[in-house]
Amino acid sequence: MAPLPDIGGLGGGGGPPPSTLAAQLVENISASSRSARSDDNAELKGLFAVIQRFKDQPELLRTPAQRTEHNHMLVYVYCRVVLDAVRLDDPLLNWPHVRTEALKALTFLRFTINETPAVLCYASATHGLLFRGAEPLWVWLLPRWLRMLGHPECEELESAIEGFLQYLLLTVARVSKLWPMTGPLTVYYRGCLTELPPVHVLDQVLGGPSATPSVSLIYHIRLARQVVRQAHSLARVLAYPLICQDSAFFSIAPMSEIGPWLLDSWLDLWSAQKRLEGDEKRSPLPLIGMAVDVAKAAKGDHAVATATKNKACTTLVLLCSEMVSAPEELAKADAGGDAARANYCLALVAIAQAALQLPTVSRLVASKLVNELSLLPAQYPALGEETDVWVRKHGFLC
C-alpha cells in the first residue's frame, strides 16, 4: 500500500484548496450516475447546490471544523450517488462502468480522509441528511464497500477495497485524535470476518444497546463464493498491522495483539471452506502464505511477538498438513502445480526454521507432517525424489 503523506494536512503548493478539489470530484461524477439519482431527489439536488456554492467560494470554509463538516457532506453525496445506486443482483447493470466509478470513489475517499481524518468519526443528530443516522461516518460507510468485496463482478476491485480498509487502519494508528476509534474499528473488522456484523458488534461500536440496526448499517451476502473471498480479504486486512511493520501500529494494542486470535480464525475459516462444494472450497494456500508473512514479521523477544510467532508456526504446520491429506493441487503437472509447490516449499522452509528454535513446533511437525510427506513421492510423480517438496521433507529429518 502506498504511504500516507501529509495525513491531516490542509494542502499547499499553491493549488486549489483541497476541499475545492474534493468538490470537483463530486461534481465530476459521470452524467449518467448523477441524472439517475438526482433529477427526482430533492435532497441531492439541494446538496449539489451547496457543493457548488462552496466550490465557487472556498473561503467560506474558515475553520477545520467547517471543513470536516463539509467533507462529511461530500462523502455522503458521493456514496449516495455512486455506491447506493449499485444493485448487485441487477442483470442489466453496466459493470465496467460500476468498477470505474468505484475506483474513482476510493480515490476520492482517500483524498478526503487524508485532508480531514476527523471526518471518519463525524457524527451528528442534527445533520439533516435523510439516509444518515447519528452513527460515526465510518460505521455508515463500510457496509457500502463490504457488500461489494468478494462479489464475482467486483473481483477487479478486490485489491483496491482491501487497500482502502488497510488505509483506514493505518490512518487511525497514525492520527492520535482517532485513537479512540481503534478498538471499535478492529472489533468491527473482526466481527465481519467471523460473521456479518452482528447486533452485539454494532452495539459495541456504537457505544451501547441499540434497536434493530438501520438497513444502512448492515449488508447481506447471498453467494458462497463471495463469502469465502470476502473472508480471505478481511483476513489480509486484519493481518496488515502485523505484516507491514509500520511503527504506528506498535503501540496500538488492539492491532498489535490481534495475531493469536486472527490465526485461530484462519483455521476456523479453512474448516468452514472444507464443507463447501465445488470451486467455493478453494485452497488453503492463501492462508498458508499469510501465515508465513505473519511468522516472518513477528520479531523481537517481547511476549506479543513470541506468542504471535508461535501461533503462526503452529498454524502453518496444521494448514500444511491439510494440504498433504488432499495433495491434488500440489501434484498437478502444470504451471498451477508449479506455483503451488513453490509456495508450499516456502512454508516448509519457515516451518523448518521455527522447528529448530521452538520445541513445540518441532514435536508438532514430527506428528503431523514428516510421515505424511514421506508417503507422497510413491503416489505422485511431481512430488518424487529430488523435487523441492522431497528435499524439504528430508530437511526435517536431518
pLDDT digits (tens, 9 = 90+) for 6-23: 444 434 444 455 555 555
Which is more confidently placed, 277 or 118?
Answer: 118
Rounded distance between C-alpha atoms, residue 124 and residue 144, angstroms: 20
- In this predicted structure, the answer to whether residue 87 has a pLDDT above a threshold of 80 is yes
pLDDT digits 0-9 by tens, 237-265: 999 999 988 888 887 877 778 899 999 99
Which is more confidently placed, 320 or 85?
Answer: 320
pLDDT more than 70, % of the chain: 82
Which is more confidently placed, 258 or 216?
Answer: 258
Write down the pTM of the prediction.
0.86
User: What is the structure's pLDDT at 391?
Assistant: 47
pLDDT digits 0-9 by tens, 365-376: 999 988 888 877
User: What is the structure's pLDDT at 314?
Assistant: 95
Confidence of residue 209 (pLDDT cuts 50, 70, 90): low
Measure Cα distances from 22 to 58, 70, 77, 99, 110 in Å: 11, 10, 11, 20, 10
- In this predicted structure, the answer to whether residue 63 has a pLDDT above a threshold of 50 is yes
- In this predicted structure, the answer to whether residue 5 has a pLDDT above a threshold of 50 is no
Burial (CB < 10 A; 0-12, 13-18, 19+), residue 205, is buried
Count of residues making up the chain: 398
Rounded distance between C-alpha atoms, residue 92 and residue 131, angstroms: 26
Rounded distance between C-alpha atoms, residue 197 and residue 219, angstroms: 8
User: What is the structure's pLDDT at 319?
Assistant: 95
